[in-house]
């Protein structure tokens, strides 16, 4: 019996060692291919920030009800005729959102690319030149989001440097040329990010008009699979009022309507509403519950319709996996579609400008 037990234990130990080696080799193979599958959302790296602040006690602006009434009507002022009566809210999955590449500059297998800019928004700011140009860690498969913005972000887990780029175009030699950039220097592995940068702002510059870490207010793939979003959400508004509201650092709204909210102005869904009774589409219900608990803000304008932003699927697609947001993808099938056109803007409530500053 002792001999059998010893042999059995040795066999178990050997099996565990083989399994560990296989897992390690698999991880190394993935790194050598340039794939970085670390999720920003599970666990959520901005825990403790303004994005996880609950909004049940949020004060209301004097014109909150008027803003809520105007929001579902606003897109019709900017949409082409064929969409005016049918489109209010959409979801950005591969265009006009911000792909994020998690890199590790201490990894000897890490790939790099050169970044250059001749734009005045970059070249006259010494820290932007220092931190966002030159040789930057980036996987070869990286590409910006589709659409005119051509944005993406590069977050270095080794140093904590969080870089974001706007209108980035790669030339034939592999050099990236960009129009604007922003950064925040966190601790390695983004430890204490929410404590060190509660407002989720860039130190200098930005890849979006509000100059915030907007990728962290997108709908995470891991969250959609799990069925719960545990942070505030940003969206692109059809148009915003002139000015901006904390935590935004600037805005580009052009609307003169007094009930057009400002970029950065926080909103929620009335906490007294039972969302389960509204017969919302399943994916809309997921988004609405997050907004009801954590709120949201407009991060940009598009002169089209309101659009929430999802995590770009590029890191999974680079591994040969299907686009999770498209028909046939696991998230699309889980919710029987990802149409957000029934988002209940009329039930939203809006905070006073600069709430929480």
- Answer whether residue 8 shows pLDDT above 90: no
pLDDT at site 23: 43
Portion of the chain with pLDDT greater than 70, in percent = 90
Question: Which of 266, 267, 350 has its CA nearest to residue 61?
Answer: 350
Residue 65 has pLDDT above 70, yes or no: yes
Residues 16-37 have pLDDT tens digits of: 444 444 444 444 444 444 445 5
Strands 204-205, 180-185: pairing is antiparallel
- Give the model confidence (pLDDT) of 263-297 as tens digits: 999 999 999 999 999 999 999 999 999 999 999 99
Q: What is the mean pLDDT of residues 208-235?
A: 98
Claim: this prediction has a pTM higher than 0.85: yes
The DSSP secondary structure of 113-168, one letter per residue, reads: EEEE---HHHHT-HHHHHHHSEEEE--TT--PPBSSS--EEEEETTT-EEEEEES-
Per-residue model confidence as pLDDT tens digits over 98-135: 999 999 999 999 999 999 999 999 999 999 999 999 99
pLDDT of the residue at 294: 98
**The pLDDT of residue 62:** 98
pLDDT of residue 37: 55
CA–CA dist 314, 241 (Å, integer): 33
Average pLDDT over every residue of 329-357: 98
Q: Give the pLDDT band (50/70/90) at residue 161.
A: very high
First to last CA, the chain: 71
Q: What is the pLDDT, as a whole number, of residue 38?
A: 76
327 Cβ contact partners less than 8 Å away, ≥ 6 residues apart = 333, 337
Here the tokens at position 81 are 């005729």
State the average pLDDT over residues 186-197.
98
Q: What is the mean pLDDT of residues 77-85?
A: 97
* Distance, CA of 355 to CA of 296 (rounded, Å): 13
Q: Are strands 112-116 and 134-137 parallel, antiparallel or unpaired?
A: antiparallel
- Using a 10 angstrom Cβ sphere, with 0-12 exposed, 13-18 middle and 19 or more buried, the burial of residue 38 is middle
Over the chain, what is the mean pLDDT? Answer: 92
């Amino acid at each position: 019996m002792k001999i059998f037990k010893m042999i059995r234990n040795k066999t178990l130990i050997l099996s565990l060692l083989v399994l560990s080696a296989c897992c390690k080799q698999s991880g190394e193979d993935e790194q050598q291919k340039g794939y970085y599958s670390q999720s920003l959302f599970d666990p959520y790296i901005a825990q403790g920030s303004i994005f996880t602040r609950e909004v049940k006690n949020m004060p209301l602006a004097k014109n909150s009800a008027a803003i809520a009434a105007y929001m579902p009507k606003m897109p019709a002022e900017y949409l082409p005729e064929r969409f005016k009566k049918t489109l209010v809210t959409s979801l950005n999955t591969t265009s006009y959102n911000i792909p994020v590449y998690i890199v590790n500059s201490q990894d000897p297998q890490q790939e790099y690319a050169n970044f250059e800019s001749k734009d005045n928004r970059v070249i006259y700011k010494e820290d932007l030149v220092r931190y966002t140009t030159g040789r930057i860690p980036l996987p070869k498969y990286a590409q910006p989001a589709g659409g005119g913005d051509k944005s993406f972000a590069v977050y270095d887990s080794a140093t904590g440097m969080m870089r974001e780029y706007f209108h980035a175009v790669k030339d034939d030699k592999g050099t990236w040329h960009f129009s604007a950039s922003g950064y925040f220097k966190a601790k390695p592995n983004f430890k204490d990010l929410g404590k060190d940068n509660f407002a989720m702002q860039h130190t200098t510059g930005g890849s979006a008009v509000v100059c915030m870490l907007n990728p962290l207010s997108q709908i995470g793939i891991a969250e959609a699979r799990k069925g719960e979003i545990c942070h505030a959400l940003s969206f692109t508004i059809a148009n915003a009022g002139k000015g901006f509201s904390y935590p935004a650092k600037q805005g580009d709204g052009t609307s003169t309507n007094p009930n057009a909210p400002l970029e950065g102005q926080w909103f929620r869904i009335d906490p007294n509403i039972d969302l389960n009774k509204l017969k919302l589409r399943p994916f809309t219900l997921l988004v609405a519950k997050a907004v009801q608990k954590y709120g949201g803000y407009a991060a940009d304008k598009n002169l089209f319709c309101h659009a929430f932003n999802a995590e770009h699927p590029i890191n999974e697609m680079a591994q040969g996996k299907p686009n999770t947001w498209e028909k046939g993808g696991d998230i699309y099938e889980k919710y029987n579609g990802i149409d957000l056109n029934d988002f209940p803007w009329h039930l939203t409530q809006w905070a006073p400008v600069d709430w929480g500053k």
